[in-house]
Amino acid sequence: MAGSTDTEAVGYQTGPYGFERGRPVAIQVGALAVFVLVWWAGALVTPQNLLPEPPAVLTVLVSDVTSGRVFELIGQSLRHYVPGLLIGSAFGMAVGILVGWSRTAELSVGTVAGILRPVPPLAWIPFAIIWFGLNDRGAAFIIAIVAFWINYYNAESGVRSVDDQLLEVGQSLGTKSDLGLIRRVVLPSALPELFTGFRTAAGQAWMVMVAAELLGVPGIGKYLWDAANFLQMQVVIAYMLVIGILFLLSDRLIKLVEARALVWR
Amino acid sequence: MEPKTVHDRSDTNGADPDSVAPLIRVENVSKTYEGETGPVEALTDVNFDVDSGEFVSIVGPSGSGKSTIFRIIAGLEAPSEGDVLVNGTPVTEPGPDRGMVFQDDALFPWRTAAGNIAYGLEEVGPPDGFTVDERIEYCLELVGLADKADAYPKELSGGQRQRVGIARALAVDPPILLMDEPFGSVDARTKASLHRELLDIWRETQKTICFVTHDIEEAVYLSDRIVVFSNAPGTVLDIVPVTIDRPRNRTGDSFTRIKADVLSYFEDSDEP
């Protein structure tokens, strides 16, 4: 059989055509410019403390970056953002995989989950306070709840969509136990959905973090709320932008890892 | 349709008159599914044997239960009645003694060609006289894909993916290869070369092959014997020996006669 030829073409993916390459950037820059101009125009016709002008926001950003305050606040926020996201995601994935794999778990755990799911994460704040207190752990708890649900549902649907034939192949090649099949067939097969879940959770976690810090836990969100109390709207907008940038950075970072892990796609 | 008499086994070239027991024995197998409107009979009292080293095809129209018998021999489904015996032992689950090849290759997309072949070796270890790496190399060479070891399934053509599927099934050196319409979705030219390659592999590895197809010409080209299945509920209408010397000429007289013979069972139905 060696040396046989195959007549079918190999379908490597090709990049976009040249003329499509430069334009998206131009459109993006243009849209941003229009956005800033509309904002600026709006700021000029409204009272100062309703909508600050872009230069005022820029001043805050420049001074807080040079003083290092931005990084100090990011560091404070990461102390509950990272553990909350990681712990919530790990539990969400584990439970989602279990429910997607086992009919018994679907009927038991899945039913309970169906009841708890509609509870808004922020409704857990009272429990966060009495269980953990106004600290990083309390805020991490709220973030973990958000991360849990997103990862749970993505993992569950990822496991359900595993091709039965791949499981049969795994069995015929000697994988006997459920744990073996989950580890060697289900997990790699569902990995794209697990990544999607984690990436979505990482994004949502930034949003809920601001709300969780409202409790009084130090971080970007808390700082933003304090500024709002003094009507320093230029500070509020500056830190809204910081959160936006953090969101984009974390999203890019996870996408980068995802592309590495999923080269086979 | 009146079933024809089952051919006498002793006149087939695949049967060894000295052999004690067949490698695969399908014994009074029936299969009934619980359908929405009551039980649906997929197989009724199916009996046939496959001897060691034999190439046996199972042909029948779609819905004839030929995939069901494949799944029962594979151990993926249990028969409602009867037994499938491999080496005298009833089949209860899939296992590395029966390699499986599916129509839509069913490769692990996250593993390279070599990684797919490695899967079974990681579970049950390489056959005697091989290391894992040597076995992977041997299997890749067997299917002519030595240069594709590091390619992912998405980078391979349909024909190449089927070759990897065959190599993966052969890696753990199972005595039996079960193939469910493996060439059903490749183009005609690739199919013809895959037929020749499969026969070469069969000769070199001395496997027993059980090959499900709805393509009668394919069955006549490849097989020692053809088990002809009826429309649902599936029963064995006939077992046709093919005694033509290989390589077979698809347009030769005896080839076309056997093809017409098998086809005659399905003349009043639309398929195959």
Which residues of chain A from 143 to 172 reach within 8 Å of chain B, CB to CB? 163, 165-166, 168-172
Cα separation of the two ends of chain A: 29
Which region holds residue B106: left if phi is over 0, alpha if psi is between -120 and 50, else beta? left
Q: Would you give the distance in Å from CA B272 to the centre of its chain?
A: 18
Sign of CA dihedral B4, B8, B14, B20: positive
At B24, give phi and psi (nearest 5°): -120, 130
**What pLDDT is recorded for position A22?**
62
Indicate the average pLDDT of chain A: 90
Give counts: helices (H), strands (E), chain B: 7, 10
Sign of CA dihedral B145, B146, B152, B156: negative
**What pLDDT is recorded for position B11?**
42
Give the CA angle between residues B59, B60, B64 to the nearest 5°: 135
**What pLDDT is recorded for position A20?**
53
Question: Chunked in runs of 10, what are the mean pLDDT values of chain B (272 residues)?
Answer: 44 47 92 88 94 95 87 95 94 93 93 97 95 96 96 95 96 96 90 95 95 95 95 89 93 94 80 50
Of B119, B158, B159, the CB nearest to A173: B119
Which residues of chain B from 108 to 137 reach within 8 Å of chain A, CB to CB? 108-112, 119-120, 123-124
- Any residues with CB less than 8 A from the CB of A252 and at least 6 apart, and which? none
Quick one: average pLDDT of A179-199? 97
Q: Cα–Cα distances in Å, from A82 out to A69, A77, A78, A88, A151?
A: 19, 8, 5, 10, 15
What is the rounded CA–CA span in Å between residue A93 and residue B171?
A: 33
A/B interface, count of CB pairs below 8 Å:
102
Residue type, B207: K
Hey, what are A78's tokens?
Answer: 């990461």
* DSSP class per residue in chain A: -TT----SPP-------HHHHSHHHHHHHHHHHHHHHHHHHHHHHS-TTTS--HHHHHHHHHHHHHHTHHHHHHHHHHHHHHHHHHHHHHHHHHHHHHHHH-HHHHHHHHHHHHHHTTS-GGGGHHHHHHHH-SSHHHHHHHHHHHHHHHHHHHHHHHHHTS-HHHHHHHHHTT--SHHHHIIIIIHHHHHHHHHHHHHHHHHHHHHHHHHHHTTT--SHHHHHHHHHHTT-HHHHHHHHHHHHHHHHHHHHHHHHHHHHHTTT-
Asked whether A74 and A220 are in contact (CB, 8 A), the reply is: yes
The H or E element containing residue B152 is: none
What is the rounded CA–CA span in Å between residue B75 and residue B95?
A: 8
Does the structure show a pLDDT above 80 at A9? no
On whether any CB of chain A is under 8 Å from the CB of B170, the answer is no
Which residues of chain B from 1 to 60 reach within 8 Å of chain A, CB to CB? none
**What pLDDT is recorded for position A11?**
41
Interchain contact, A165 vs B102, CB within 8 Å: yes
**What pLDDT is recorded for position A214?**
81
Interchain contact, B106 vs A169, CB within 8 Å: yes
Residues B117-146: pLDDT tens digits?
A: 999 999 999 999 999 999 999 999 999 999
**What pLDDT is recorded for position A101?**
96
Residue B199 DSSP class: H
Hey, what are B86's tokens?
Answer: 């491999």
At A226, give phi and psi (nearest 5°): -60, -45
Residue B25 pairs in a beta bridge with: B49, B85
On whether any CB of chain B is under 8 Å from the CB of A111, the answer is no
Q: Residue B82: count other Cβ atoms within 10 Å of its Cβ.
A: 18
What is the rounded CA–CA span in Å between residue A118 and residue B24?
A: 55
Asked whether B50 and B24 are in contact (CB, 8 A), the reply is: yes
Predicted ipTM? 0.86
Of A1, A173, A265, the CB nearest to B143: A1
Asked whether B86 and B78 are in contact (CB, 8 A), the reply is: no
Residues A199-240: pLDDT tens digits?
A: 999 999 999 999 999 878 999 999 999 999 998 999 999 999
A21 confidence band (pLDDT: 50, 70, 90) = low
Cα separation of the two ends of chain B: 16
Q: Residue B235: count other Cβ atoms within 10 Å of its Cβ.
A: 20
Q: Which residues of B touch A10 (CB under 8 A)?
A: 155-157
Residues A127-144: pLDDT tens digits?
A: 999 999 989 999 999 999
Asked whether A160 and A193 are in contact (CB, 8 A), the reply is: no
